[in-house]
Structure 1
């Protein structure tokens, strides 16, 4: 589409690889700022204490509020120009909004078909219990060691597993964002996965109805991969794909 074409400077034409690395480093810097903001408060209380949660919420709110300014600075420094506004690049727009709410969440629920079936059979959690389930990150190791919640080796192995799981999940939500061009899809998928937690596969293996549950696990995974690209087709969301492409070709395009 002509109105979506990006004007690249001579610098980007000469060194697209440098712009790519600069973009990657910018993403890492923003992620480090996000995690680092959680530790600007000095406190002897555990991270689940209400006072600590309020402080961390404030830190995250500030960093999230400054993120658009960070993206704007990246765009100006790298000389990438788009006709679409900054909010559009951040995935905040009205085109395809309903699809962005429904389809990515539906796709994620398909992936969790086994755990959902298991939850429906057992109903072990109340709504409040489910809300308290959160994704774990590597920086939680500091809290676990600080309050002596387990051995060093046990905490490290747990962190490696949790980091691997959340890294895969991060790649998935990034894929959703790039394919749909909307922020709402990744947000809802993240909230849903927070609620579900990591699938209790060991419990499923010992369940009285394990054949049904394990079949649901398998069917959900197969159906997920079958629907991954069809349900994230950019035509459903009012945006071309990809969101941004940096190649050695002078004619490469960047869309919002």
Structure 2
């Protein structure tokens, strides 16, 4: 490990240095900036006629998706520039450009760490991967490169698996987490605050859902949004953990895209081949083998246990933004 790496860690890690420097900003200021970033990300949607949804214009309309991708790209650039200026132009010991790029997970890219982070996350989805690739014959579509064709042909697919993960991770990890580190915030606060704001930034989907689905009872719409807030916050905490452990923006972008592609794992119900679902729907004979379901749930448990056991080993990195010792104070 180089001396420059040591100085980077002593300057920015929360509560690790025995002789902490004067931080360039307070934890409160960092938190307010992150909250402002969250607003900057989605509020501009409603200023533009092309990006703003309506009862007759869904958020999944291609023109809306294109407009929003353009908007969040500008928002991410503004927020990243703000973080860069805060860290390089303020405080008693302003950071150099190389240090800021490291804190933002941009350089070094740490591609090997990214691969390990995706492998770790895939363990959580061992059951769903088995269901998709084996039970549903998803491997055939990958051999035919169908997912890649959908990526280029469907704007919703591009938004969900490319534009969304990249821009959200740039804003909520790359631009936000360095502010908490620079403020020498406690590790727990660093890992939990930004994810909570990340979850809240999805709550505007409640308004959009009500616009396009006015017939749905408001209680059901609120429950839907609260559920989304919960799992986006949990994912945000996990992504932040990976970010500070690997110091890699590509790692969290790749994990985000992977999780979007997999969706939430099935936690109950029977696993069947696609044609068996069709037979069941028309009252046909249920020829599904119980072994499909047994295999799925066994792999789901095995994957979860393997994920837990490898959580620290597969996220260990020389590019880490917070040392392992700092997590002991959580």
1:1-16 alignment, distance < 5 Å = 2-3=3-4, 4-5=6-7
Deviation (angstroms), 1:133: 9.2
Among 132, 139, 149, the residue aligned to 2:204: 139
Deviations 1:79-107 (A, max 9, x none): 55334343222111136x23133111111
Aligned residues: 238
Deviation (angstroms), 1:77: 4.0
Change (3 A) 1:200 1:37: farther
1:65 aligns with 2:77: yes
Hey, what does 2:131 align to over in structure 1?
A: 118
Hey, what does 1:24 align to over in structure 2?
A: 31
Deviations 1:137-159 (A, max 9, x none): 32111111112252211111011
Hey, what does 2:316 align to over in structure 1?
A: 233
Change (3 A) 1:133 1:218: farther
Deviation (angstroms), 1:40: 2.4
* Distance in 1 separating the partners of 2:113 and 2:297: 30
With 124-133 and 38-47 compared, the bigger mean Cα shift is at 124-133
Among 91, 108, 113, the residue aligned to 1:94: 108
Change (3 A) 1:69 1:80: farther
Q: Is the Cα contact below 8 Å between 2:131 and 2:296 reproduced in 1?
A: yes
Hey, what does 1:222 align to over in structure 2?
A: 305
**TM (normalized to structure 1)?**
0.80
Deviations 1:24-59 (A, max 9, x none): 222221122112233222343211111111110110
Deviations 1:130-184 (A, max 9, x none): 9479499321111111122522111110111111011110111111110111100
CA RMSD in angstroms, aligned pairs only: 3.3
**TM (normalized to structure 2)?**
0.63
* Distance in 2 separating the partners of 1:15 and 1:87: 21
Change (3 A) 1:179 1:240: closer
* Distance in 1 separating the partners of 2:307 and 2:247: 20
Deviations 1:11-33 (A, max 9, x none): x96986x7122222222211221
Change (3 A) 1:23 1:204: farther
**Stretches of structure 1 lacking an aligned partner (at least 5 in a row):** 247-256
